[in-house]
Structure 1
């Protein structure tokens, strides 16, 4: 009886491997970027501090920086380039009414000391958006996902249309300080369940051969692509069999990703790993 009760109380994480619980101050992590095999950097979304945090592979907080010259209007994802620079996606746009979309570029935080880190500002707009907000059937301009590749940042929008269509736009902008017009390079329909199919994070593998998009319980894996539109490659849809508010994903090597979910009542605020093959 005691043995069976112990089994019944064990948390179920589906196909995800549980690594650790994040501290309570990181209950709304919205982006993660892995810099090496030991440290990952995370951010929180709207309503939280203008800070970037380092965690280890068990989810323990190691250090944090206040980001100078940056405001957390709605930070929704992290990306990093081959020089160790970190990019904060300040482009959350739930109501599709923002005209101040931006991305903050930080120097490699692993090399920084003190308590603050300087940010450069990249601003952009979507030329396809004509009204702020557009009508309900065109609520296509929220964004919670991006990655860096070959001098550009690739943004994947989050669908909020009513009725829900599951369609995401893929845009790219130069990873350079200044003001840019986002270029539409592709479109993707994930699935038709608004609870699971909206894109909440993205990353590209270190070798540039795999792109992952994240939903709440799903990973969309793209391989065998060429050019800007990775959705033209081979798609594999993966059900990780764990339904929580999963908001962050990053590669730690060419075959392993880290995932974090937000706190929701008694669930979430966990760090997981998943092996793609």
Structure 2
């Protein structure tokens, strides 16, 4: 083998030995193969998190440890995964599944499933009840491409209400996120439009794919592909006036999930996309 060939082999070996690049995210672990499309995450404590997968996957919720290892699998009774996109919790421990993925803006069966605290469930199934809703501003299914702003992949719970953040799919791209409010109790509701925000006008980075609120209610976190948006000193009564810090994570994968582990630490998950993703991360901020 000549010197050039030896040098080339050395460079290739060095590249293979390098750790995967995760930007400013702290890598915690890789999900098992059957959790390749994690779309929502919540945590009740600093030991476990719960996740779901989106459209086409099982009607299950999964407990994982903080290295992304599967701990428990619960079948959600009386629920159907049309397009589960996010998870939320309330201070009583109830869990909410947002079945409101609406890529084509033509669904009329938008649903949130309310479950009791899954950490108290001793069996392999958990009951659920339905909260259904619609957006009163949407008149056509689907609307014109210029007004396709009724998809959603993000929500959180606060003070007996659920706050839903829509995902803009309009053409041309508007960069507009609508914020809707509905009660957290079983029923059928007309969602109340309580605010509009515009994070930026870049479709690749400004469409909201996950949301959560800190336990003290002072900070909200919105996630997109490669960007985190933090709204501090949050006031739900003037939600449109929230000022967001845009934080580039230096890691552009299909990030779909975010939740608070504590008031300054986030858990973040991305979906499998070709050779990237299917990972659990943490991110700390001040």
Partner of 1:185: 194
Measured after TM superposition, the shift of residue 119 of structure 1 is 0.3
Q: Retained in 1: the 8 A contact 2:164–2:180?
A: yes
Is the aligned partner of 1:246 residue 2:255?
yes
Distance 1:148 1:157 in 2: 15
Structure 1 unaligned blocks of 5 or more: none
Is the aligned partner of 1:67 residue 2:76?
yes
Is the aligned partner of 1:114 residue 2:144?
no
Partner of 1:214: 223
Q: Retained in 1: the 8 A contact 2:132–2:188?
A: yes
Measured after TM superposition, the shift of residue 228 of structure 1 is 3.2
Structure 2 counterpart of 1:98, from 88, 96, 107: 107
Residues 132-151 of structure 1 aligned to structure 2 (within 5 Å): 132-151=141-160
Measured after TM superposition, the shift of residue 59 of structure 1 is 0.2
Measured after TM superposition, the shift of residue 100 of structure 1 is 0.3
Distance 1:266 1:3 in 2: 18
Partner of 2:168: 159
Q: Retained in 2: the 8 A contact 1:209–1:223?
A: yes
Q: Retained in 2: the 8 A contact 1:84–1:107?
A: yes
Distance 1:132 1:264 in 2: 30
Measured after TM superposition, the shift of residue 196 of structure 1 is 1.8
Deviations 1:4-47 (A, max 9, x none): 81686321111000000010000000000111111100000000
Partner of 1:46: 55
Measured after TM superposition, the shift of residue 224 of structure 1 is 1.9
Which stretch of structure 1 is more off in the superposition, 149-158 or 191-200? 191-200
Distance 1:56 1:81 in 2: 21
Q: TM-score, normalised by structure 1?
A: 0.97
Structure 2 counterpart of 1:78, from 66, 76, 87: 87
3-state DSSP class of the match of 2:14?
helix
Measured after TM superposition, the shift of residue 203 of structure 1 is 0.1
Distance 2:57 2:12 in 1: 42
Partner of 2:178: 169
Q: Retained in 1: the 8 A contact 2:87–2:97?
A: yes
Runs of 4+ in structure 1 displaced over 6 angstroms? none
Distance 2:13 2:22 in 1: 18
Larger radius of gyration: 2
Q: Retained in 1: the 8 A contact 2:217–2:234?
A: no
Structure 2 unaligned blocks of 5 or more: 1-9
Superposed CA RMSD in Å reads 1.4
Distance 2:177 2:192 in 1: 14
Distance 1:204 1:115 in 2: 29
Measured after TM superposition, the shift of residue 276 of structure 1 is 1.8
Q: TM-score, normalised by structure 2?
A: 0.94
Structure 2 counterpart of 1:198, from 201, 207, 215: 207
Distance 1:91 1:229 in 2: 24
Distance 2:34 2:16 in 1: 30
Count of residues in Structure 1 that have an aligned counterpart in Structure 2: 277
